[in-house]
Structure 1
Amino acid sequence: MTAGYETERELQLPGGQSVRIRRAVPDDAGGVLEYLRRVGGESQNLTFGAEGPGLTESEERDYLARVAEADNSLAILALMNGVIVGGLTFDGGRRPRLRHVGEFGISVAREHAGLGIGRAMIEYMIAWAAQSSVVRKINLKVRVDNAGAIRLYQRMGWVHEGRTTRDTLIDGQFNDCLLMGRAVDPR
């Protein structure tokens, strides 16, 4: 965990509701898996469907514990009234020459999409990375047909770096993905 970096933020939504963004902890494992199964069934843009990511609660707990201890990885949750409505993970490289770079994945529950929750989680990650003594580049993969996400990433500083073909296979259909990267300068 990056020493001295905040662990929680509050986001005010239109209409007076608020979303709490905080780091995930091992005790969140069951709720995270339940959330991932829900959003997996809502979206064709994730690497899993309604079955979830294929981890047991124990495996998810171990993953969250490892991320919490790493200085180049992050897992955060967005919660409304104590219910998970969004999540973001950034996994930094494990080998010495790759520790400065990693890839993130993000999801927001369909009913809460378009409210700025995804942007707020990404801003949290960027600020965390900039304060880190390790992370200097954030990569992502996004389906080429996910135009809204691509526009958001470009507005937030990501640039197109490549394309992978036949990257996902959903309902018998191959999908290409764009590779995007964003440099992070220390604060």
Structure 2
Amino acid sequence: MTEQLTNRKKEVIVTYAIRSAQPEDGTKIVEFYNRVGGETDYLSFGHDEYSLSAESLTQAIVQMKKFKGTCMFLVIEGKEILGIGTIDSSSKPRYRHVGTLGIVISQSHTGNGLGRVLMNTLIDWAKTNGQTEKISLVTRADNERAIALYKKVGFEQEGTFYRDVYDGERYYDNLSMALYL
């Protein structure tokens, strides 16, 4: 799928494609995560702190193709990754109906509607995979833009994890949110 978005505030036109991650994307994905980890404090990792190597991620993408409750979509402009969205489901029968969502958009491309488009892509995928009945996510309670997006696409707050994140100076609460399909 190739789309074009116009952000009226910035007069920027973004032409992009959304596609499933492929094993050959492993290195670029790790580079993207390591870069965006330094762009925001809302991720669980910082700059150059992404926990998987390119080799490990490549193997994970290969394995991902074997499970119908797990996916990774990339937002691409040319050869550059602008964003990544994932849904990961447990292989345990009692939990496989729940997919855990993760999404990140490069700070230079936020505010263009890419997050909403990627969220809708993930939700549409989950509705048709034959397994996912609930999508859950965890976000910092002070991440107002993300929370607004999640609510806009139908997520509701399920709970609060108090003092769940510590950045070396202060604690932050996390919210648990879910969308029932």
TM tier, shorter chain? Answer: over 0.9
Unpaired stretches in structure 1, ≥5 consecutive residues: 1-8
Shift of 1:171: 3.3
1:1-187 superposed matches below 5 A: 9-14=1-6, 15-184=12-181
Q: Give the whole-Å Cα distance in 2 for the aligned partners of 1:104 and 1:130.
A: 13
Q: Give the whole-Å Cα distance in 2 for the aligned partners of 1:48 and 1:55.
A: 11
Q: Which amino acid aligns with 2:124?
A: A
Partner of 2:9: none
User: How many residues were matched structurally?
Assistant: 176
Q: Give the whole-Å Cα distance in 2 for the aligned partners of 1:117 and 1:13.
A: 8
Q: Which amino acid aligns with 1:107?
A: V
Shift of 1:89: 1.1
Q: Give the whole-Å Cα distance in 2 for the aligned partners of 1:67 and 1:50.
A: 25
In the alignment, is the contact (CA less than 8 A) between 1:25 and 1:68 conserved in 2? Answer: no
Shift of 1:73: 0.5
In the alignment, is the contact (CA less than 8 A) between 1:103 and 1:140 conserved in 2? Answer: yes
Q: Give the whole-Å Cα distance in 1 for the aligned partners of 2:149 and 2:41.
A: 18
Q: Give the whole-Å Cα distance in 2 for the aligned partners of 1:96 and 1:26.
A: 27
Unpaired stretches in structure 2, ≥5 consecutive residues: 7-11
Q: Against the structure 1 CA distance between its residues 179 and 68, is the aligned structure 2 distance closer, same or farther, given a 3 Å change threshold? A: same
- Show structure 1 runs of 4+ deviating over 6 A: none
SS in 2 for 1:153: helix
- Residue identity (%): 32
* Alignment TM-score, normalising by the size of structure 2: 0.93
Q: Give the whole-Å Cα distance in 1 for the aligned partners of 2:37 and 2:13.
A: 28
